[in-house]
Amino acid sequence: PLPVAKKHWFKTAAGKYVRLEQFDGSEEKMSLCVNIFNSELTEPYVDFTYMHFMLGWKDLCVLAYEYDGTGEPAAATGDEPATGGKFVAAIVSSVARKAFNKPLRGYVAMLAVKPESRKNKIASVLVTASVDLMRVKNCDEVSLETPSDAIPALSLYTNLGFAKTKFLARYYLQGQDAYRLKLWLKPSANAESFKQQLARQQALMAKNEKTIA
Protein backbone atom coordinates (compact mmCIF):
# COMPACT_ATOMS: atom_id res chain seq x y z
CA PRO A 1 0.00 0.00 0.00
CA LEU A 2 0.93 3.64 -0.26
CA PRO A 3 2.80 5.11 2.72
CA VAL A 4 0.45 6.90 5.11
CA ALA A 5 2.33 10.16 4.54
CA LYS A 6 1.35 10.11 0.85
CA LYS A 7 -2.33 9.70 1.73
CA HIS A 8 -2.18 12.94 3.71
CA TRP A 9 -1.69 16.38 2.18
CA PHE A 10 1.98 17.03 1.42
CA LYS A 11 3.71 19.96 -0.24
CA THR A 12 4.97 19.60 -3.82
CA ALA A 13 5.64 23.25 -4.71
CA ALA A 14 5.16 26.69 -3.20
CA GLY A 15 1.57 26.84 -1.98
CA LYS A 16 0.72 23.50 -3.63
CA TYR A 17 -0.41 20.44 -1.71
CA VAL A 18 -1.28 16.99 -3.02
CA ARG A 19 -2.58 13.71 -1.66
CA LEU A 20 -2.49 10.29 -3.31
CA GLU A 21 -4.90 7.38 -3.24
CA GLN A 22 -4.96 3.96 -4.85
CA PHE A 23 -7.75 2.98 -7.21
CA ASP A 24 -10.68 1.45 -5.32
CA GLY A 25 -12.29 -0.27 -8.29
CA SER A 26 -15.29 2.07 -8.39
CA GLU A 27 -16.90 3.28 -11.60
CA GLU A 28 -16.50 6.87 -10.39
CA LYS A 29 -12.71 6.61 -10.07
CA MET A 30 -12.50 4.58 -13.28
CA SER A 31 -14.28 7.40 -15.13
CA LEU A 32 -11.95 10.03 -13.66
CA CYS A 33 -8.91 8.14 -14.89
CA VAL A 34 -10.28 7.20 -18.31
CA ASN A 35 -11.32 10.81 -18.96
CA ILE A 36 -7.92 12.26 -18.13
CA PHE A 37 -6.11 9.58 -20.15
CA ASN A 38 -8.37 10.16 -23.14
CA SER A 39 -7.75 13.89 -23.03
CA GLU A 40 -4.03 13.98 -22.22
CA LEU A 41 -2.30 10.88 -23.59
CA THR A 42 -0.44 10.99 -26.90
CA GLU A 43 -2.40 7.93 -27.98
CA PRO A 44 -5.58 7.16 -25.99
CA TYR A 45 -6.59 3.52 -25.57
CA VAL A 46 -9.82 1.60 -26.00
CA ASP A 47 -11.92 0.90 -22.90
CA PHE A 48 -10.76 -2.73 -22.72
CA THR A 49 -7.13 -1.63 -22.31
CA TYR A 50 -8.01 0.72 -19.45
CA MET A 51 -9.97 -2.06 -17.72
CA HIS A 52 -7.16 -4.57 -18.27
CA PHE A 53 -4.59 -2.42 -16.51
CA MET A 54 -6.74 -0.69 -13.89
CA LEU A 55 -8.64 -3.76 -12.73
CA GLY A 56 -5.70 -6.11 -13.16
CA TRP A 57 -3.36 -3.98 -11.02
CA LYS A 58 -5.63 -1.80 -8.90
CA ASP A 59 -2.90 -1.18 -6.33
CA LEU A 60 -0.64 0.17 -9.08
CA CYS A 61 -3.23 2.69 -10.24
CA VAL A 62 -2.64 5.85 -8.22
CA LEU A 63 -4.73 9.02 -8.35
CA ALA A 64 -3.53 12.49 -7.30
CA TYR A 65 -5.71 15.21 -5.80
CA GLU A 66 -4.67 18.83 -5.43
CA TYR A 67 -5.73 20.85 -2.40
CA ASP A 68 -8.25 23.47 -3.52
CA GLY A 69 -9.03 25.10 -0.19
CA THR A 70 -7.71 28.37 1.22
CA GLY A 71 -4.51 28.57 3.20
CA GLU A 72 -2.80 25.34 4.21
CA PRO A 73 -4.62 22.01 4.65
CA ALA A 74 -5.21 20.78 8.18
CA ALA A 75 -2.35 18.81 9.71
CA ALA A 76 -2.66 15.03 9.48
CA THR A 77 -3.84 13.15 12.54
CA GLY A 78 -3.39 9.40 12.85
CA ASP A 79 -3.48 6.96 9.94
CA GLU A 80 -6.76 8.13 8.42
CA PRO A 81 -6.20 9.36 4.84
CA ALA A 82 -7.08 12.90 3.86
CA THR A 83 -10.13 13.45 1.69
CA GLY A 84 -11.38 16.02 -0.78
CA GLY A 85 -9.42 18.11 -3.22
CA LYS A 86 -9.48 18.34 -7.01
CA PHE A 87 -8.53 15.30 -9.08
CA VAL A 88 -5.61 16.32 -11.31
CA ALA A 89 -3.53 13.28 -12.30
CA ALA A 90 -3.23 9.51 -12.45
CA ILE A 91 -0.69 6.81 -13.18
CA VAL A 92 -1.31 3.16 -14.08
CA SER A 93 1.38 0.49 -13.98
CA SER A 94 1.61 -3.29 -14.18
CA VAL A 95 3.94 -6.11 -13.17
CA ALA A 96 4.66 -9.26 -15.17
CA ARG A 97 7.28 -11.92 -15.82
CA LYS A 98 7.70 -13.22 -19.39
CA ALA A 99 8.93 -16.60 -18.13
CA PHE A 100 9.79 -18.18 -14.78
CA ASN A 101 13.51 -17.53 -15.28
CA LYS A 102 13.09 -13.97 -16.55
CA PRO A 103 13.24 -10.71 -14.54
CA LEU A 104 10.09 -9.46 -12.85
CA ARG A 105 9.32 -6.34 -14.85
CA GLY A 106 7.29 -3.33 -13.86
CA TYR A 107 5.75 -1.24 -16.60
CA VAL A 108 4.42 2.31 -16.46
CA ALA A 109 1.52 2.08 -18.89
CA MET A 110 -0.14 5.49 -18.52
CA LEU A 111 0.61 8.81 -16.84
CA ALA A 112 -1.43 11.98 -17.25
CA VAL A 113 -1.54 15.33 -15.46
CA LYS A 114 -4.05 18.08 -16.19
CA PRO A 115 -2.33 21.02 -17.94
CA GLU A 116 -3.14 23.54 -15.19
CA SER A 117 -1.43 21.33 -12.59
CA ARG A 118 1.81 20.68 -14.45
CA LYS A 119 5.07 22.13 -13.14
CA ASN A 120 3.91 21.31 -9.59
CA LYS A 121 6.03 18.12 -9.51
CA ILE A 122 2.93 15.92 -9.47
CA ALA A 123 4.19 13.71 -12.30
CA SER A 124 7.44 13.13 -10.42
CA VAL A 125 5.51 12.29 -7.25
CA LEU A 126 3.33 9.76 -9.09
CA VAL A 127 6.19 8.04 -10.91
CA THR A 128 8.18 7.79 -7.68
CA ALA A 129 5.18 6.37 -5.82
CA SER A 130 4.56 3.82 -8.59
CA VAL A 131 8.21 2.74 -8.68
CA ASP A 132 8.21 2.36 -4.88
CA LEU A 133 5.11 0.13 -5.09
CA MET A 134 6.80 -2.01 -7.76
CA ARG A 135 9.95 -2.18 -5.66
CA VAL A 136 7.87 -3.62 -2.80
CA LYS A 137 6.63 -6.26 -5.26
CA ASN A 138 10.29 -7.22 -5.78
CA CYS A 139 10.52 -6.00 -9.38
CA ASP A 140 13.92 -6.14 -11.01
CA GLU A 141 13.30 -3.25 -13.39
CA VAL A 142 10.72 -0.76 -14.63
CA SER A 143 10.22 0.28 -18.25
CA LEU A 144 8.03 2.69 -20.19
CA GLU A 145 7.70 4.44 -23.55
CA THR A 146 7.33 8.13 -24.29
CA PRO A 147 7.28 10.21 -27.50
CA SER A 148 10.77 11.08 -28.71
CA ASP A 149 9.94 14.79 -28.90
CA ALA A 150 8.34 14.98 -25.44
CA ILE A 151 11.24 16.87 -23.86
CA PRO A 152 9.55 17.55 -20.46
CA ALA A 153 8.63 13.86 -20.11
CA LEU A 154 12.12 12.70 -21.07
CA SER A 155 13.64 15.12 -18.54
CA LEU A 156 11.26 13.85 -15.87
CA TYR A 157 12.19 10.21 -16.39
CA THR A 158 15.94 10.69 -16.78
CA ASN A 159 16.01 12.86 -13.64
CA LEU A 160 14.37 9.92 -11.81
CA GLY A 161 17.09 7.54 -12.99
CA PHE A 162 15.55 6.05 -16.15
CA ALA A 163 17.86 5.52 -19.12
CA LYS A 164 16.96 5.48 -22.81
CA THR A 165 17.45 1.92 -24.04
CA LYS A 166 15.73 1.83 -27.44
CA PHE A 167 14.56 4.14 -30.20
CA LEU A 168 11.19 3.05 -31.59
CA ALA A 169 10.61 4.46 -35.06
CA ARG A 170 6.94 5.23 -35.86
CA TYR A 171 5.89 3.56 -32.60
CA TYR A 172 2.53 5.32 -32.29
CA LEU A 173 -0.39 4.89 -34.67
CA GLN A 174 0.01 8.48 -35.88
CA GLY A 175 3.56 7.62 -36.94
CA GLN A 176 5.28 9.37 -34.06
CA ASP A 177 8.62 8.00 -32.82
CA ALA A 178 9.22 6.99 -29.21
CA TYR A 179 11.94 6.06 -26.76
CA ARG A 180 11.83 3.09 -24.45
CA LEU A 181 13.33 3.90 -21.06
CA LYS A 182 14.31 1.57 -18.27
CA LEU A 183 15.08 1.87 -14.56
CA TRP A 184 16.99 -0.98 -12.90
CA LEU A 185 15.88 -1.54 -9.31
CA LYS A 186 18.38 -4.15 -8.20
CA PRO A 187 22.17 -4.27 -8.27
CA SER A 188 23.37 -7.03 -10.54
CA ALA A 189 26.36 -9.32 -10.32
CA ASN A 190 26.58 -8.60 -14.03
CA ALA A 191 26.49 -4.82 -13.62
CA GLU A 192 29.32 -4.25 -16.08
CA SER A 193 27.59 -6.26 -18.81
CA PHE A 194 24.45 -4.18 -18.21
CA LYS A 195 26.50 -1.01 -18.75
CA GLN A 196 28.02 -2.42 -21.93
CA GLN A 197 24.62 -3.51 -23.23
CA LEU A 198 23.15 -0.09 -22.46
CA ALA A 199 26.05 1.63 -24.21
CA ARG A 200 25.53 -0.53 -27.31
CA GLN A 201 21.78 0.13 -27.28
CA GLN A 202 22.28 3.88 -26.96
CA ALA A 203 24.88 3.92 -29.76
CA LEU A 204 22.49 2.02 -32.03
CA MET A 205 19.68 4.36 -31.04
CA ALA A 206 21.76 7.41 -31.93
CA LYS A 207 22.61 5.85 -35.29
CA ASN A 208 18.92 5.15 -36.00
CA GLU A 209 17.97 8.72 -35.09
CA LYS A 210 20.63 10.11 -37.41
CA THR A 211 19.44 7.88 -40.26
CA ILE A 212 15.80 8.92 -39.79
CA ALA A 213 16.73 12.63 -39.57
C-alpha distances in Å from residue 150, one per residue of 41, 157, 176: 12, 11, 11
Q: Residue 208: what pLDDT? A: 53
What are the beta bridge partners of residue 94?
107
What is the value of pTM for the model shown? 0.87
Q: Residue 103: what pLDDT? A: 87
CA 72, CA 10: separation in Å to the nearest integer?
10
Residue whose C-alpha is closest to residue 184's, from 213, 157, 163: 163
- Give tens-digit pLDDT for 57-71: 999 999 999 999 888
**7-25 burial, b for 16+ CB within 10 Å, e for fewer?**
bbbbebeeeebbbbbbbee
**Burial (CB count <10 Å: 0-12, 13-18, 19+), residue 49:** middle
Q: Residue 212: what pLDDT? A: 45
Under-70 pLDDT residues of the chain? 188-213
Handedness of CA 39, 40, 43, 48 (dihedral sign): negative
